[in-house]
Amino acid sequence: SLQDQFDSLEKHTQWGIDVLEKYIKFVKERSEIELSYAKQLRNLSKKYQPKKNSKEEEEYRFTSARAFLATLNELNDYAGQHEVISENMSALISAQLARFLLQLKQERKAHFHDGRKAQQHIETCWKQLEASKRRFERDCREAERAQQYFEKMDADINVTKADVEKARQQAQLRHQMAEDSKAEYSSTLQRFNSEQHEHYYTHIPTIFQKIQEMEEGRILKIGESMKTFAEVDRQVIPIIGKCLDEITKAAELIDHKNDSQLVIEAFKSGFEPPGDVDFEDFTQPMKRTVSESSLSNSRGDGKAEPKYGSKSKGKLWPFIKKNKLMSLLTSPHQPPPPPPASASPSAVPNGPQSPKQPKEPLSHRFNEFMTSKPKIHCFRSLKRGGAGPEDFSNLPPEQRRKKLQQKVDELNRDIQKELDQRDALTKMKDVYIKNPQMGDAASVDQRLAELGQSIEKLRLEVQKFEGWLAEVEGKLPARSEPGRRQSSLYEAQHTAAINSCAQDRESPDGSYTEEQSQEPEVKLPATDFDDEFDDEEPLPTIGTCKALYTFEGQNEGTISVAEGELLYVIEEDKGDGWTRIRRSEDEEGYVPTSYVEVYLDRNAKGA
């Protein structure tokens, strides 16, 4: 029946609305997933971004690290595209479908309301027709009974004429009522047929057509939304592809050779490898000359010794650290020998030597060295807690050169800033002079004077650091006397604090310690002691000396000299008869004061 069709259509259209609601919910959840994914990507990118003013920033000198940083940045843009997907899906699909769904429900309600109304109307017409028909049928039966009763009365001779007339009038009345009912039934029937025709051929088809159009519109809308769903993704594909291309480009820019070179430049020390160890002939019965490159002596007069000196850091040549410790703990502990009676080396066949006095055990010397607390405290600030020497002399040569160059560049930038400020103030002063109403020209004089003083100080600093840099780069004679005196003023500035802590170099038993920068590390356990001789700073020269006699330093801490040899003085006699000298950059030790003629440098001594 028609009613059944309406019920089926109502169920089907309700199913269509449920499908639309389900799709809207699906798109919303997809949008939330995209937004959550974008948020997680952004958090991931932020998590691995380098922290400001942290050590991680230095790592981005390497191309691989920069490629990773580019990946993080592109990943952030990639996340932004997923946010765009989420926004477009919410605006172009979810919001529009929600509005369309509301309209669809209202339209569906109206269509089915019209269908039910038309159905009710035709049913009402049918009920009217049935009532008219039953009334016509009843009137016809009543008219027929009245006619039969009249005929019966008329045939009965016993019935009065008046009764017969009454029966005849009653029969006529019933017949007239039947005619009226017939006319009404006929009219009602025509009207019903007309309504029925219009109902089945006009109203109902129109309602069905509207419902069909509504359902087709719903289907089309879902189809368009699905296209938009794909198009939203497709629109960001070029940008996502560009992000991926940038990541690929950054990866292709990774230069393994460059990264390796950066590591080499960062850790290059500039030290030379040690020379070959000489053969020590133990078959000689008496008075062996200690091997010049023997690992048991760090202050001999051998040729290979400069490679083992204070410039060779323990981290590069670990076997040298034992030498350093031996030299430190076994500096001259006995009085120096008297000068020979004759200046000729032949007068003393074996050369003057230190007396063969028994030495204290090494463990005892080490314990005394470990208890030098004032020196430890003084140098701790330079080695561990402080910023290090001003001339970066605690660094290897190559690293020192880089630090000095950076400092010079930094000072030059500061000078340029000060010059720019001075030029600006000078122009302002000229404007004030030409136009006094704009300001007082004298008001900038004090600032100009301050800038002049600041520029002069910075230039002096630049000259100082350039001097150190020139020495490192070999532009000045590294250890010649003129070059040494030229750089002594610079060295004196950063060694003043050290000298104030190291004036008393004599340990409780009268022995002398080695170089200043070796002292701060003695607080460490014995197992770590050797590792702390890698940042030694050589003592500055304080003058020169000439050897009056030949001296063969065979004891630890002494150095052999030849008659007439010119040497550098790095520590004058403290009253025990020994003077500390240096032959080359890495060869130094003690000689008897009476064996040399000392010429002190006033500037270095005053500093």
| 543-600 and 5-263 share a CATH fold | no
The confidence score (pLDDT) of residue 603 equals: 55
544: which 2 tokens? Answer: 């020169």
The answer to whether the Cα torsion of 28, 30, 31, 33 is positive or negative is positive
Q: Which ranges of the chain have pLDDT less than 70?
A: 1-3, 54-57, 284-336, 338-387, 475-537, 602-607
The confidence score (pLDDT) of residue 385 equals: 40
The answer to whether the Cα torsion of 371, 373, 377, 379 is positive or negative is negative
Bridge partners, residue 545, by sequence: 567, 598
Q: Dump strand ranges (E) for 98-254.
A: none
Tell how far CA 291 is from the center of its chain.
Answer: 55
State the Cα–Cα distance between residues 416 and 419, nearest whole angstrom: 5
The confidence score (pLDDT) of residue 77 equals: 94
Q: In 3D, which of 529, 217, 147, 126 has the Cα closest to residue 365?
A: 529
Q: N- to C-terminal Cα distance for the chain?
A: 121
State the Cα–Cα distance between residues 169 and 245, nearest whole angstrom: 111
Contacts of 32 (CB under 8 A, 6+ apart): 86
Secondary structure letter of residue 390 according to DSSP: T
Strand arrangement of the beta sheet that strand 596-600 belongs to: 587-592, 578-584, 566-571, 543-547, 596-600
The confidence score (pLDDT) of residue 353 equals: 42
Contacts of 382 (CB under 8 A, 6+ apart): 388, 389, 394, 497, 498, 517, 520
Burial tier of 482 (Cβ tally within 10 Å: 0-12, 13-18, 19+): exposed
- The 10s digit of each residue's pLDDT in 70-111 is 999 999 999 999 999 999 999 999 999 999 999 999 999 999
Contacts of 134 (CB under 8 A, 6+ apart): none
The packing angle between helices 161-198 and 95-155, to 10°, is 160
- The 10s digit of each residue's pLDDT in 588-604 is 889 999 899 988 876 55
- For 401, the enclosing helix (H) or strand (E) is helix 397-434
State the Cα–Cα distance between residues 50 and 56, nearest whole angstrom: 6
Q: In 3D, which of 365, 318, 352 has the Cα closest to residue 514?
A: 365
The confidence score (pLDDT) of residue 2 equals: 64
Topology of domain 543-600, CATH: SH3 type barrels. (2.30.30)
> Domain residues of the chain, as ranges?
5-263, 397-473, 543-600
Q: Which residue is associated with the tokens 């029925």?
A: 196
The packing angle between helices 63-88 and 256-267, to 10°, is 130
Contact 451, 425 (CB under 8 A): yes
The confidence score (pLDDT) of residue 30 equals: 94
CA dihedral 57, 58, 60, 62 (to 10 degrees): -170
* Region at 270 (left for phi over 0; alpha for psi -120 to 50; beta for the rest): left
312: which 2 tokens? Answer: 């060779």
State the Cα–Cα distance between residues 344 and 342, nearest whole angstrom: 5
Q: Which spans in 253-292 are helix H?
A: 256-267
Q: Domain 5-263 carries which CATH code?
A: 1.20.1270.60
Long-range residue pairs from 77-80, CB within 8 A, at least 24 positions apart, any chain: 77/239, 77/243, 78/41, 78/240, 78/243, 78/244, 79/37, 79/38, 79/39, 79/41, 79/42, 79/45, 80/38
Count of Cβ atoms closer than 10 Å to residue 7 Cβ: 12
Contact 586, 310 (CB under 8 A): yes
